Amino acid sequence: MMSMKYNVNIIPAGIAALVMAAAVGYNECKKEPEKKEEIAIQWGYFTIAPKEFTNIYDSSLKVERSLTLEENCNGSLEINHYASGILLRDSQTEENYILTAEHITANQTYGCKEEGSSKKYIKVKDGSITVAGFSANVIKESEEADLALLKIEGNIADATPYRGKIAGEVNLGDVVIGTGYPDGERPYSISCVIGITENTTILSFENKGGNSGGGFYRFTDQGLELIGTTRGGTTITTLGRLHELIKGTPLEDDYLQ
């Protein structure tokens, strides 16, 4: 089926959730970057099929973490958080994986911030991660890059994996679209790349709680391509670190170009 061509400031009919994100993202990308050097935003025409917008939305899943601490934090031993992730699938085995943020995994300590005191770190007695009710276990992670790849122990009914590729490059000024669960909602977020460092790619607006691990995709003439996952604040993971995480895993052939 031939893909329809859209300008990145024009939202395909029938995808209402993109309208507000486009308005916010367009205004944010027009703002002057804080750095002195000029950044040319890569507006233009890209061949993007409507099904690609649907796919990055449907493959975005909520990742839930439950921790039991050795001592109370804000009066409780139990801590429950949620974040975002991207469903990936091995085409050979049909096994499902989740790409998400490393800081949402069940670490050995938990940073507890109580009112009127500085953050303290409490040992974690037990912890688990679930996706759509199924247990998910870490098979590869990088604390420095804030990336984790989890294998889902079960078959999520009617689950839709990400069907695109991980990008081969990312550049200053690239227009990007993200998905996830900021504040428990499930919107699209449109932004642009305004900085690239060794461990972070910097976007033009700030992410919200719950969006950690959510995917961001660049607009290209070949469609939407994954460039990283949300870290926090205005940053996402770098493309190079994402390539390093996927290399050597069962997903390498399916997702690396």
CATH code where residue 220 lies: 2.40.10.10
More confident: 21 or 146: 146
Give the structural domain span for 175.
5-57+163-255
Residues 147 and 187 in one domain: no
Query: Residue 224: which of 59, 99, 40, 95 has the closest Cα?
Result: 59
Q: Is residue 158 part of a domain?
A: no
User: Given 106, 132, 152, which residue is the final one in a domain?
Assistant: 152
Residues 101 and 121 in one domain: yes
Number of domains in the chain: 2
Q: The tokens 């912890």 sit on which residue? A: 127
Q: The tokens 């607006």 sit on which residue? A: 205
pLDDT in tens, 82-117: 999 999 999 999 999 999 999 999 778 888 888 888
Kindly state the average pLDDT of the residues 133-148.
95
Residues 70 and 139 in one domain: yes
The Cα 26–Cα 11 span in angstroms is 12
The Cα 148–Cα 136 span in angstroms is 11
Query: Residue 203: which of 167, 169, 233 has the closest Cα?
Result: 233
* pLDDT exceeds cutoff 50 at 19: no
DSSP H or E stretch at residue 51: helix 50-58
pLDDT band at 161 (very low <50, low <70, confident <90, very high): very high
User: Given 152, 178, 202, which residue is the final one in a domain?
Assistant: 152
Residues 169 and 125 in one domain: no
Tell me the CA distances in angstroms from 236 to 1, 71, 201, 205, one per residue in order. 33, 32, 5, 11
User: Given 152, 180, 198, which residue is the final one in a domain?
Assistant: 152
pLDDT of residue 17: 40
Residues 51 and 66 in one domain: no
More confident: 196 or 10: 196
